[in-house]
Homo-oligomer: A and B are copies of this chain.
Amino acid sequence: MNEFELIADLFAPLATTPGAFGLKDDAAVFRAPEGFETVITKDVMIEGVHYLSGTNPARVAQKLLRVNLSDLAAMGAEPQSYLLGCQFREDVSQNWLHEFAQGLTEDQTTFGISLLGGDTTKTPGPNAFSLTAIGALPQGTAIRRSGVQPGDEIWVSGTIGDGAMGLMMAKGEYTPKDASDAPFLKDCLELPTPRIGLGQRLRGIASAAIDVSDGLIADLGHLARASGVGLTLAADAVPLSDPCRRALAEGASDLATLLTGGDDYELAFSAPAGSRDGLLSAADDAHVAITLVGLASDGEGTVRVLNEGQPMAVSQSGYRHF
């Protein structure tokens, strides 16, 4: 298949919104609903850097989409469409391409979105992808990183550390003793769940939010610096899955690794102390657990980590791609 056949065969069927013009024009057209504004984000994912070679192609596509949707979720936006830039290796197989497109097809249904445009090319390098995700929210309601106030409580959705343990496992550095933990951790690494429903329900309640992609401590650092506050994280309060608890009990990992590993795609957010009922109700509606893990105070953009009340040493706060 040449470039044009590939687009017609694999990608045009994904361009279900009229403004995509069936991927047959120079650009696409869209409009945010009346009273709404557009939220936009772009992430890059490279084979061997952001995901392991040999990962199921459908899941490569789905993770690419989901890490971007997670950014939209952190702003409180509803996803609408996306543009896709594909750099495929010279030796990519037809089967790989079809599975990649199948992953997008599935997730378009799951998240109610449409492909809007993009570009496809071959590369002498590894497979690499960029995705631009587009969402919408009522004008002026975006949840920013910079809104944390001293006295706010810090919350996190879901569980933290599963992506890090999933990566250790995928790299052959960890084999769970409990066999059922393996598929769970693999799914957490390869198929994260962007907290879209929660993000939208946090609009007007949360004072700030971020998605946990670089590692919880690093991402709290981003919140703290953007807001000009100090944050205290109670490491022992951070919610962990049973597989992660077992990995800790087996001595296969430590808490610092889980809090700095990244690839969680949970939301970390702040809210005034009086917001607990509203937050718990929002989380309940979104079918996701949330846990109180910290507190904001006057400060200079720093994160203090306590474990059972004692300062906890953390050598590296999070993953850096550069």
Contact = CB atoms under 8 A, between A and B. Distances in A.
A144 interface: yes
Contacts of A210: 26
Interface stretch (A69-77, A167-175, A279-287): A69-77
B40 A30 contact: yes
Nearest to A73: B26
A125 B128 contact: yes
Contacts of A226: 24-25
A320 to B, nearest CB: 5
B146 A46 contact: no
Interface string A28-57: 111110000111111110101110000000
A145 B28 contact: no
Given A42-B117, A46-B87, A2 B71 contact: no
B3 A27 contact: no
Interface size class of A (residues with CB under 8 A): 35 or more
Contact of A32 (B32, B42, B84): B32
Contacts of A75: 25-27, 29
Nearest to A85: B130
A142 B226 CA distance: 39
Contacts of A133: 27
B29 A31 contact: no
A322 B118 contact: no
A81 B188 CA distance: 35
B123 A49 contact: yes
A125 B126 contact: yes
B120 A322 contact: yes
Contacts of A86: 44
Contacts of A322: 1-4, 6, 88, 120-122
B38 A29 contact: yes
A128 B85 CA distance: 11
A83 interface: yes
Contacts of A28: 39-41
Contacts of A39: 27-29
A121 B44 contact: yes
A218 to B, nearest CB: 9
B24 A146 contact: yes
A121 B46 contact: yes
Contacts of A2: 320, 322
B124 A48 contact: yes
A32 B30 CA distance: 10
Give 4 nearest A-B pairs by CB, closest first.
Answer: A125-B125, A3-B322, A27-B41, A85-B130
